[in-house]
Amino acid sequence: MDYILPKNRSKLFNVIFLTTFSLLPAAAFAQSESTGDSGLFSLPGILITITLLIVPVVAAIFLLVVKANALFKNIQNRKDSEEATRFAAYLKTLNVEQLEALQNDRLHQDYHLNNQELSGPFSPEDSKGLLSSVNERANIRFIEAKRKAIVRPGIDPALSRLILWFLGTATFWLVFGTSVGEYVGIKFVAPDVDQVSWLSFGRLRPVHTNAVFWGWSSLAMLGLGYYVVPRVSNIQIHSLKSGWWSLILINASVVLGTIALMAGINNGGGEYREYIWPIQLLFGIGLVITLVNYLRTVARRKTTEIYVSNWYIVAAVMFAIVISIVAYVPNFQNGLGETIIQGYYMHQGVGMWFMLFTLGLVYYYLPQQLNKPIYSYSLGILAFWSQIFFYTLIGTHHFVFSAIPWSLQTVAIVGSAGMVIPVVSGTTNFIMTFRGAWHKVAGSYTLPFFIVGIIFYFTGSLQGTAEAFRSTNLMWHFTDFTVAHSHLTMYGIIAFFLWGGIYAIVPRLTRQEPPQITVGIHFWMAFIGMMFYTIPLMWGGTMRGLMWMEGLPFIESVTMMAPYWLWRAIGGSLMWVSHLVFAYNMYRMINPRKTVNINDEAIKKLHSKDYELVDILDK
């Protein structure tokens, strides 16, 4: 079993890092040199200071240019007025003939056609309205004009209100949760930014994770689910009232959980089950209500088959209830029992709740946005069963090399390898659905979100498989590589798919499009931000693991990480700003905007009592 990492291999790693990641040269050297003399530019304080210095310098340069321009204009004006005085003096010296000649010259120069030389004085017949409806106020096209959402009939306004509330509160939790995440990320660079107990790192970290899990992702999923489940069943939702109840309960759970965690009330430190049971119970009841509602809707469906989306969605809600019960029932949680259940819970939460539900949503929204059916129904079903079979096994891969039984660790690793089957079949299915419709991507503002989601569904999930093997676990476990991985998946897959779904249906529900330019800003900032967030953490995490394996002092691996943590904070800031933009887009889609249509308004005014013209019109 003994495995010896060849020395030259770890050297090779270092060489690769040194050459490819020369953006952070000092960081790469920090591990071989002892202390002190690592480059000045790797120090976060220096980098922040430089950035802060650059801001006023740029502002100063801008002001300087404005000032110089004004000065130049001033001089030019003075010159011109001198020139004018000289010209006036010259004109005074001219005799009458010369002046007349000049006047004639001006008349000749000013002559132009009156545009009616060919048509004559009559206005043209325009029976098809081709000439009178020319839009002369077209915007300058900085961005590609995207296809607008087609309004679909038959959406119950009451259901639409419920969905919008789900999505609206989800947006709130996204902004709140990632604000906390951003702040927590800053604490890696500036640990003394505050020293308040309620805001300390250990308390805020679970606030962040739980808010984006149960607040943002879960509420957004359920909201989008309330659209899909009745639609593919070709029937109204069973009960709107219970939908409102689950909305209220889940929101209450996240509000109370957040306050409790900040106050220091924590269930036991196990990730994602930090809420104590009375609080998580509210979430659980919300899920049970939703399950009954979805099931009753599916039971009364008007279609013979149950569309594959509803396989995934209803199963995800059932499984989430099972997972919560297993996680909170106290009968088998003593000693290592707690750890085994923890491994099971945290990974089933991710894979059987978020991933399964979101895949169900994609099976509906992706074909809808491409306006063609899903490539293969059977592949979707294969992915469904294999996901259940393999994903359930992989929980304990978070505790490889720990004291839990070796055989259980092996089962988890084998299960992780088996995940290739559902991931590859799912990805193939989605990509093949795009076949022949790639041209639609450029004209759509939702499809790019789905493409990013599909790419990370493939890479992020397989990265998880790669991390589970014993040889890689050795290097990556306990490092920030895991943090990068969880963001690639929960953000790159889940959040991007949810955004795609939200941009797909909200304009259909409200008949209001988001501004395309801000959707573009949201997409690119979120995407680029995530790259800045995850890539440095993956490099840094790998280097950290290698340093540990070489037996270097632990604190050296902390100083080595500093620039990578700074990059993470920068990427996190981009992501965070993109969420503000997304919230603005939600506002623009939901809030009715009053635009004055001159014609309609004029007619309305004519009909009001202030105008006596009404009688004239009526006659």
Partner 1 sequence: MMDFFNDYRKLYLTALGLFVLLTILVAIMPAISNQNNNSPLPSEEPLSAAALEGKALYVANGCVACHTQQVRNLDMDKVWGKRPSIAADYADEQRTDLWRNTATLMGTERTGPDLADVGNRQPSAEWNLLHLYQPRAVVAESIMPAYPWLFEEKAELEEGDVEVPVPDAFRKGVKGRIVATKDALNLVAYLQSLKQAELPGSMAPPEFLYKREEKATATTGSGEDLGLDGAALYAANCQSCHQASGEGLKGAFPPLKGSQIVLDDNPEVLIDVVMNGYDARPEFASMPAIGTNMKLSAAEVAAIINHERSSWGNSARKVPEEEVQKIMDLLKQSAQK
Binding residue (CB under 8 A) for partner 1 from 48, 466, 552, 590: 552
Nearer residue to partner 1 within complex by CB, 188 or 216: 188
For the CB of residue 516, give the shortest distance to partner 1 in the complex, in Å: 40
Select from 335, 373, 595, 618 the one that contacts partner 1 (CB under 8 A). Answer: 335
Quick one: 155 or 552, whose CB is closer to partner 1?
552
User: Which CB sits closer to partner 1, 26 or 483?
Assistant: 483
Q: Which of 288, 382, 431, 483 binds partner 1 (CB under 8 A)?
A: 483
Residues 246-275 that bind partner 1 (CB under 8 A): 261, 264-271, 273-274
CB 398 within 8 A of CB 343: yes
Count the neighbouring beta carbons within 10 Å of the beta carbon of residue 531.
13
- Provide the 3-class DSSP secondary structure of residue 213: helix
- Per-residue binding letters, 217-236, with partner 1 (x by CB under 8 A): --------------------
Contacts of 165 (CB under 8 A, 6+ apart): 223, 244, 247
> Could you say which of 41, 62, 478, 611 contacts partner 1 (CB under 8 A)?
478
Contacts with partner 1: how many residues (CB under 8 A)?
103
d(CA 424, CA 430): 10
The distance of closest approach from Cβ of residue 212 to partner 1 in the complex, given in angstroms and rounded to an integer, is: 15
175 to 178, 212, 248, 300, 554: CA distances (angstroms): 5, 9, 19, 37, 35
Contact between 145 and 516 under an 8 Å Cβ cutoff? The reply is: yes
Rounded Cα gap, residues 340 and 338, in angstroms: 6
Told to check if 340 binds partner 1 by CB under 8 A, we report yes
CB of 361 to partner 1, least distance (A): 17
Could you give the CA distance from residue 199 to residue 180 in angstroms, rounded to a whole number? 9
Residue 45 is a binding residue for partner 1 (CB under 8 A): no
Closest CA to 279 of 358, 205, 199, 215: 215
Under the criterion CB under 8 A, does residue 205 sit at the interface with partner 1?
Answer: yes
Instruction: Please spell the DSSP secondary structure of 131-151, one letter per residue.
Output: TTT----PPP-SSPPPPPPPP
**What separation in angstroms does the CA of 191 have from each of 41, 128, 199, 200, 497?**
19, 70, 12, 9, 34
CA 332, 336, 341, 342 dihedral sign is positive
C-beta of 550: minimal distance to partner 1 in Å? 7
Of 257, 324, 484, 556, which lies in the binding site for partner 1, with binding defined by CB under 8 A? Answer: 556
Backbone CA torsion sign across 96, 101, 102, 108: positive
Task: Confirm or reject binding of residue 53 to partner 1 (CB under 8 A).
Answer: no
Cα Rg of the chain (Å, integer): 32
With binding defined as CB under 8 A, does residue 5 bind partner 1?
yes
Q: Binding residue for partner 1 (CB under 8 A) from 95, 554, 612, 616?
A: 554
- Nearer Cβ to partner 1 (315/441): 315
The answer to whether residue 570 forms part of the interface with partner 1 (CB under 8 A) is no
Q: How crowded is residue 566: how many other Cβ atoms within 10 Å of its Cβ?
A: 24
CA distance 62 to 374: 53
Phi, psi for residue 288 in degrees, rounded to 5: -60, -45
Q: Based on the shown chain and the rule CB under 8 A, indicate whether residue 584 belongs to the binding site for partner 1.
A: no
Q: Is position 559 an interface residue for partner 1 (rule: CB under 8 A)? A: yes
Q: Which of residues 299-328 bind partner 1 (CB under 8 A)?
A: 299, 301, 304-306, 311, 314-315, 318-319, 322, 326, 328
Q: Are the CB atoms for 323 and 348 separated by under 8 Å?
A: yes
Closest approach of partner 1 to the CB of residue 437, in Å = 27
485 sits near partner 1 (criterion: CB under 8 A): no
Q: Which of residues 531-550 bind partner 1 (CB under 8 A)?
A: 548-550
Question: Is the CB of 249 or the CB of 340 nearer to partner 1?
Answer: 340
DSSP labels, 242-269: HHHHHHHHHHHHHHHHHHHHHHT--SSS
Give the count of alpha carbons within 13 A of 19, CB side only. Answer: 5
Closer residue to partner 1 (CB): 382 or 455 = 382
Helix pair angle (496-510, 516-549), 10° resolution: 160
Largest Cα–Cα distance of the chain, in whole Å?
A: 115
* Residue 215 in tokens: 């607040």
Please, are residues 267 and 274 in contact by the beta-carbon 8 Å criterion? yes
In the region spanning residues 153 to 192, those forming contacts with partner 1, defined by CB under 8 A, are 187-188, 191-192
143 binds partner 1 (CB under 8 A): no
Only segment of 2-10, 112-120, 498-506, 570-578 that touches partner 1 (CB under 8 A): 2-10
Specify the residue, 339 or 368, whose C-beta has the smaller distance to partner 1.
339
Interface residue with partner 1, options 259, 558, 603, 614 (CB under 8 A):
558
Q: Which of residues 80-139 bind partner 1 (CB under 8 A)?
A: none
Give whichever of 84 and 325 is closer to partner 1, judged by the CB atom: 325
Among 14, 160, 179, 200, binds partner 1 (CB under 8 A): 200
Which of residues 526 and 562 has its CB atom nearest to partner 1 in the complex? Answer: 562
Rounded Cα distance between 227 and 159, Å, is: 8
**Residue 290 and residue 180: Cα distance in Å, rounded?**
29
The CB-of-46 to partner 1 minimum distance in angstroms stands at 15
| Subset of 495-524 contacting partner 1 (CB under 8 A) | none
Q: Which is nearer to partner 1, 134 or 196 (CB)?
A: 196
Site for partner 1 in 354-413 (CB under 8 A): 384-385, 388-389, 392-393, 395-396, 398-399, 401-405, 408, 411-412
What does the block give as tokens for 74? 């001033």
Q: Does residue number 457 form part of the binding site for partner 1 (CB under 8 A)? A: no
Q: Which of 221, 222, 214 is nearest to 176 (CA)?
A: 214
